[in-house]
C-alpha cells in the first residue's frame, strides 16, 4: 500500500526540513572561524582562526572593522531582562491565582492580558513612544521599554501559571486554612513550593523573551541601546564575520541559561519527591 | 503553634473568606492596570494621533484627515501596502505547505512519544538564537558567493551564480518562512496527535486510499491547528520590518518599514496612520480565520 512508502518519504522530508531550519546556523558557525581581519563573510574559509572571537572580546589588534558595541549594551539587556522577569512573574502569578476564583469580567480580563502577546511589537513600540512624547516623558530602556517588555512577557507567565493551577490540587490549601493557617502563610508554605516548577518556567520565558526583544525596544528605549538594538545598527553597514561569532556566542549563552533552568528544575522536582516520601513515612 | 494563636488567626480569616471575589480583584488589579496603561492606552493613542496635524517639526492635536489623505494619495505607500499583503500571503502559503508534511510526520506517523517530543524540541531549538542573528544567518547562505550558489555550482547544476537569491523579495520570503514555519508545525502536529487511529483504520478498511483519507479525514480534523498557526504567522509577518530590512537591502518596504522610517523622521501622524491600517488588516484576517473554525469548541 501507498502508506508503506509514505512513511520513509515523509521521514526524508522531515530531515530536509530540519536542514532548512539549521542550515543557516551551520554556515554561520563555520564562517565565524574565518581568517581575520581580511576574511569576508563568505566562503571559502581562507584560514581557520579564532580572530573574530578575539575581536568580539576586544582582544584583537585594531583593524578597519570596528568592534561590536557589546559591553554596556549587554549589561543593559541583562538588567532589563531581569527586571522584566521579576515584574511579569509576580504579576502573572497574582493574576493566575485570581483566575482560580470566579469574578465579574473574568473573560474580558483574560483577553486583555493575552492581547499583550498578540499585538505586534512595532505597534506597541509606536504607541508607547507616542504616549511618551505627547506627555513629555523621557524614554529610557529602564522605564518605557521596561513597561512594554512586561506587556509582552506577562501573558506568557500568566498562561504558564494558569496551566499549572489547572492541575493544582486545592485540597492541601483547604486543609491548611481549616487548620487556621492564614492565607498569606498558606501561600508561602504550601502553594508556592508546589507551583515552583511553573514559576521557574515563567521566569525562563520572561527572561529570554525580554533579552532578545527587538521591535518593542526600538521605539521605546530612547538613546541608550540594548544589545539587540546595538546588533541591528551594525546591519545597516557591511557585515563582517564578527556578527557570526557573536551569534555563536549568544546561542551558547542561551543554552547555558537553559542548562541552569534544567538543573533548578530537576532540583525542585527531587526536593518535592523527597518531601512526599517524608510525608508517606 | 499554640491554641491562642490558632484561634486568633482563625478569626482573622473569617472576613477574608466572605469577600472572596474582593481578593480576586486585588490580585488581578495590578496586571489589569499595567495592561491598560501600557497596551490599551498606547494603542488608542495610535488611532488618535493618526488624525493629528503634522507640520515639519511639530505635531499638534488639531484633528485632520491630512495624513490619511497623504497615505492613500502616495504610490510609495500604496505599493508598500500591496507588498505587505503579497508577502504575507506568500509566507502564509509557504509555511503551510512546508510545515504540513512535517506536522503530518510528527503528529500522525511517529507513534513513540519520546521521539515525537524530541522532534518538536529540535524544531524549537533555533528559537534560542537571537532573532536578528537568525535573520542575518541567511546572508552567507543566499549571497552571490553564498553557500547555496557554491553548492549548486559544485554540483554542476548551474554555471553562473543565481543573483536573485539575496536582496530580493524571494530572500525575504525564504527568511520569514524559515523563522515562522515552526508556528505552523506546532499547532497542526498537536491537532493531528489527537486524531483517533481507529477512525483512520476504519477508513482504510473501507478501501479509502491515503490521499482520500488525507483530504476527507485528516485535513478537516487538523483545521483548528491550521487556523491557530495561520493566526500566529499572520500577526508576526504583518508586524515585520527587520527581516525585510536585513535581507532585501532595503528594497522591499513593508508597512512595518514605513513605520520605522516615519518615526525616524518624527512623522508621528503618518506612522500612526500606517499603524491603524496594519491593526485593521490584522483584525479582519483574525476575525475571518476565527469564522472558519470555532476554536473554543475545538480546543
The secondary structure of B118-162 as a DSSP string is HHHHHHHGGGGS-HHHHHHTTHHHHSTTSHHHHHHHHTTS-SS--
The number of residues making up chain B comes to 299
Split at pLDDT 50, 70, 90, the class of B299 is low
The reply to whether A154 and A185 lie within a common domain is yes
Relative orientation angle of helices B41-49 and A121-135, to the nearest 10 degrees? 80
Mean pLDDT, rounded, of chain B: 87
The reply to whether A125 and A190 lie within a common domain is yes
User: Residue B54 forms beta bridges with which residues?
Assistant: B59
Does any domain span residue A167?
Answer: yes
Residue A53, min C-alpha distance to chain B (Å): 16
Chain B interface includes A207 (CB < 8 A): no
pLDDT of residue B219 exceeding 90, the answer is yes
Q: How much is the average pLDDT of A122-142?
A: 93
Residue B151, min C-alpha distance to chain A (Å): 11
Q: How much is the average pLDDT of B202-216?
A: 88
Backbone angles phi, psi at A170, to 5 degrees: -70, -10
Residue pair A20/B179 in contact (Cβ under 8 Å)? The answer is no
3-state secondary structure of A48: coil
d(CA A206, CA A203): 5
Poorest-pLDDT segment among A114-118, A244-248, B26-30, B127-131: B127-131
pLDDT by residue (tens digit) across B121-131? Answer: 888 888 888 88
Does any domain span residue A165?
Answer: yes
Burial class of A150 by CB neighbour count within 10 A (0 to 12, 13 to 18, 19+): buried
Domain residue limits at A152: 72-239
3-state secondary structure of A169: coil
The reply to whether A89 and A11 lie within a common domain is no
Is this prediction's ipTM beyond 0.90? no
Q: Output the nine-digit C-alpha cell for B299.
A: 480546543
Domain count for chain A, please give it: 2
Burial class of B122 by CB neighbour count within 10 A (0 to 12, 13 to 18, 19+): middle
What's the angle, vertex CA B236, arms to CA B234 and CA B238, rounded to 5? 65
The reply to whether A156 and A213 lie within a common domain is yes
Split at pLDDT 50, 70, 90, the class of B104 is very high
Residue B243 pLDDT:
92
The reply to whether A41 and A137 lie within a common domain is no
Fold of B74-298: MetI-like fold (1.10.3720)
pTM: 0.87
The reply to whether A97 and A232 lie within a common domain is yes
Residue B163, min C-alpha distance to chain A (Å): 15
The reply to whether A37 and A164 lie within a common domain is no
Phi-psi bin for B167: left (phi > 0), alpha (psi -120 to 50), beta?
left
Mean pLDDT, rounded, of chain A: 88
The reply to whether A82 and A217 lie within a common domain is yes
Q: How much is the average pLDDT of B171-198?
A: 93
pLDDT by residue (tens digit) across A218-262? Answer: 999 888 899 999 888 887 777 888 888 998 998 888 888 888 888
pLDDT of residue B7 exceeding 70, the answer is no
pLDDT of residue B2 exceeding 60, the answer is no
Q: How much is the average pLDDT of A160-173?
A: 88
Split at pLDDT 50, 70, 90, the class of A279 is low
* C-beta neighbour count of B117 within 10 angstroms: 12
Cα–Cα nearest to B45, from A148, A106, A159, A96: A148
Does any domain span residue A265?
Answer: no
Does any domain span residue A266?
Answer: no
Concatenating the DSSP letter of every residue in B4-23 gives HHHHHHHHHHHHHHHTHHHH
Does any domain span residue A64?
Answer: no
d(CA B154, CA B212): 41
Residue B16, min C-alpha distance to chain A (Å): 9
Q: How much is the average pLDDT of A145-169?
A: 93
**Chain A residues closer than 8 Å to B138 by CB:** 24
Residue pair B238/B176 in contact (Cβ under 8 Å)? The answer is no
Q: Does B129 contact A134 at a Cβ distance shorter than 8 Å?
A: no
Relative orientation angle of helices B255-264 and B75-104, to the nearest 10 degrees? 130
Q: How much is the average pLDDT of B66-92?
A: 95
Give the dihedral of Cα atoms A213, A214, A216, A218; nearest 10 deg. Answer: 150
Cα–Cα nearest to B80, from B240, B209, B292, B293: B240
Nearest to B137 among A14, A27, A182 (CB): A27
pLDDT of residue B55 exceeding 80, the answer is yes
d(CA A170, CA A183): 13
pLDDT by residue (tens digit) across B226-249? Answer: 999 999 999 999 999 999 988 988
Q: Does B133 contact A130 at a Cβ distance shorter than 8 Å?
A: no
The reply to whether A147 and A123 lie within a common domain is yes
Domain residue ranges in chain B? 74-298
- Please name the residue that has the C-alpha cell 563573510: A41
Q: Which of A123, A223, A252 to mutate to test the interface with B (most CBs of B within 10 A)?
A: A123
Residue B12 pLDDT:
42
Cβ within 8 Å of B, A 80-99? 91-92, 94-95, 97-99
Residue B4 pLDDT:
43
**Chain A residues closer than 8 Å to B105 by CB:** 7, 10-11, 13-14
pLDDT of residue B67 exceeding 60, the answer is yes
Burial class of A51 by CB neighbour count within 10 A (0 to 12, 13 to 18, 19+): buried
Split at pLDDT 50, 70, 90, the class of A71 is confident
Q: How much is the average pLDDT of B153-169?
A: 87
d(CA A183, CA A193): 14
Q: Does A42 contact B143 at a Cβ distance shorter than 8 Å?
A: yes
Residue A2 pLDDT:
54
Q: Cα B174 vs. chain centroid, distance in angstroms?
A: 15
Backbone angles phi, psi at B59, to 5 degrees: -135, 135
Residue B89, min C-alpha distance to chain A (Å): 17
Q: Does B238 contact A180 at a Cβ distance shorter than 8 Å?
A: no
Cα–Cα nearest to B188, from B214, B212, B224, B217: B224
Q: Does A103 contact B25 at a Cβ distance shorter than 8 Å?
A: yes
d(CA A158, CA B81): 35
Q: Which of B137, B215, B240, B243 to mutate to test the interface with A (most CBs of A within 10 A)?
A: B137
Concatenating the DSSP letter of every residue in A53-72 gives HHHHTT-SPP-SSPPPS-HH
Sign of CA dihedral B244, A24, B179, A207: negative
Does any domain span residue A280?
Answer: no
Poorest-pLDDT segment among A173-187, A202-216, B39-53: A173-187
E-state strands within chain B: 53-54, 59-60
The reply to whether A39 and A130 lie within a common domain is no
Amino acid at each position: 500500500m501507498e502508506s508503506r512508502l509514505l512513511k520513509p518519504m515523509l521521514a526524508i522530508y522531515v530531515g530536509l526540513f530540519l536542514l532548512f531550519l539549521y542550515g543557516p546556523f551551520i554556515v554561520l558557525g563555520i564562517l565565524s572561524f574565518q581568517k581575520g581581519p581580511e576574511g569576508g563573510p563568505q566562503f571559502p574559509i581562507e584560514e581557520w582562526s579564532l580572530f573574530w572571537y578575539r575581536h568580539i572580546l576586544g582582544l584583537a589588534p585594531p583593524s578597519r572593522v570596528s568592534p561590536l558595541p557589546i559591553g554596556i549594551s549587554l549589561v543593559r539587556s541583562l538588567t532589563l531582562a531581569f527586571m522584566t522577569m521579576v515584574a511579569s512573574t509576580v504579576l502573572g502569578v497574582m493574576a493566575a491565582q485570581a483566575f482560580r476564583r470566579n469574578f465579574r469580567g473574568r473573560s474580558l480580563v483574560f483577553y486583555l492580558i493575552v492581547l499583550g502577546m498578540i499585538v505586534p511589537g512595532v505597534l506597541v513600540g509606536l504607541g508607547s513612544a507616542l504616549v511618551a512624547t505627547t506627555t513629555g516623558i523621557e524614554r529610557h530602556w529602564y522605564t518605557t521599554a521596561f513597561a512594554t517588555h512586561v506587556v509582552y512577557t506577562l501573558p506568557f507567565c500568566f498562561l504558564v501559571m494558569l496551566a499549572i493551577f489547572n492541575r493544582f490540587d486545592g485540597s492541601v490549601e483547604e486543609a491548611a486554612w481549616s487548620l487556621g493557617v492564614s492565607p498569606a502563610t498558606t501561600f508561602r508554605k504550601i502553594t508556592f513550593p508546589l507551583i515552583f516548577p511553573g514559576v521557574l518556567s515563567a521566569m525562563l520565558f520572561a527572561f529570554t523573551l525580554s533579552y532578545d526583544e527587538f521591535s518593542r525596544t526600538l521605539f521605546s528605549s530612547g538613546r541608550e541601546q540594548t544589545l539587540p538594538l546595538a546588533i541591528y545598527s551594525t546591519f545597516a553597514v557591511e557585515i563582517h564575520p564578527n556578527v557570526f561569532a557573536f551569534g555563536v556566542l549568544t546561542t551558547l549563552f542561551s543554552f547555558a541559561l537553559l542548562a541552569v533552568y534544567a538543573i533548578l528544575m530537576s532540583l525542585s522536582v527531587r526536593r518535592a519527591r523527597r518531601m512526599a516520601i517524608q510525608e508517606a513515612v | 503553634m499554640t491554641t491562642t494563636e490558632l484561634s486568633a488567626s482563625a478569626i482573622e480569616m473569617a472576613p477574608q473568606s466572605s469577600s472572596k471575589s474582593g481578593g480576586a480583584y486585588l490580585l488581578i488589579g495590578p496586571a489589569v492596570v499595567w495592561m491598560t496603561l501600557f497596551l490599551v492606552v498606547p494603542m488608542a493613542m495610535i488611532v488618535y494621533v493618526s488624525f493629528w496635524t503634522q507640520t515639519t517639526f511639530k505635531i499638534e492635536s488639531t484633528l485632520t484627515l491630512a495624513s490619511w489623505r497623504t497615505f492613500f494619495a502616495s504610490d510609495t505607500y500604496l505599493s508598500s501596502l500591496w507588498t505587505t499583503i503579497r508577502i504575507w500571503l506568500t509566507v502564509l502559503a509557504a509555511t503551510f505547505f512546508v510545515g504540513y508534511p512535517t506536522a503530518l510526520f510528527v503528529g500522525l506517523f511517529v507513534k513513540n512519544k519520546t521521539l515525537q517530543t524530541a522532534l518538536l524540541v529540535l524544531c524549537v531549538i533555533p528559537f534560542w538564537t537571537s532573532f536578528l542573528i537568525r535573520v542575518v544567518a541567511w546572508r552567507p547562505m543566499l549571497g552571490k558567493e553564498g553557500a547555496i550558489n557554491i553548492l549548486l555550482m559544485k554540483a554542476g547544476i548551474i554555471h553562473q551564480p543565481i543573483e536573485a537569491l539575496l536582496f530580493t523579495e524571494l530572500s525575504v520570503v525564504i527568511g520569514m518562512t524559515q523563522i515562522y514555519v515552526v508556528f505552523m508545525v506546532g499547532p497542526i502536529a498537536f491537532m493531528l496527535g489527537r486524531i483517533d487511529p481507529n477512525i483512520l483504520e476504519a477508513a482504510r478498511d473501507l478501501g479509502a486510499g491515503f490521499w482520500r483519507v488525507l483530504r476527507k479525514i485528516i485535513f478537516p480534523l487538523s483545521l483548528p491547528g491550521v487556523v491557530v498557526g495561520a493566526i500566529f504567522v499572520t500577526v508576526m509577518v504583518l508586524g515585520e520590518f527587520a527581516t525585510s530590512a536585513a535581507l532585501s537591502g532595503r528594497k522591499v518596504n513593508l508597512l512595518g518599514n514605513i513605520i520605522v522610517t516615519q518615526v525616524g523622521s518624527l512623522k508621528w501622524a503618518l506612522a500612526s496612520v500606517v499603524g491603524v491600517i496594519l491593526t485593521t488588516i490584522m483584525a479582519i484576517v483574525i476575525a475571518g480565520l476565527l469564522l472558519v473554525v470555532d476554536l473554543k469548541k475545538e480546543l
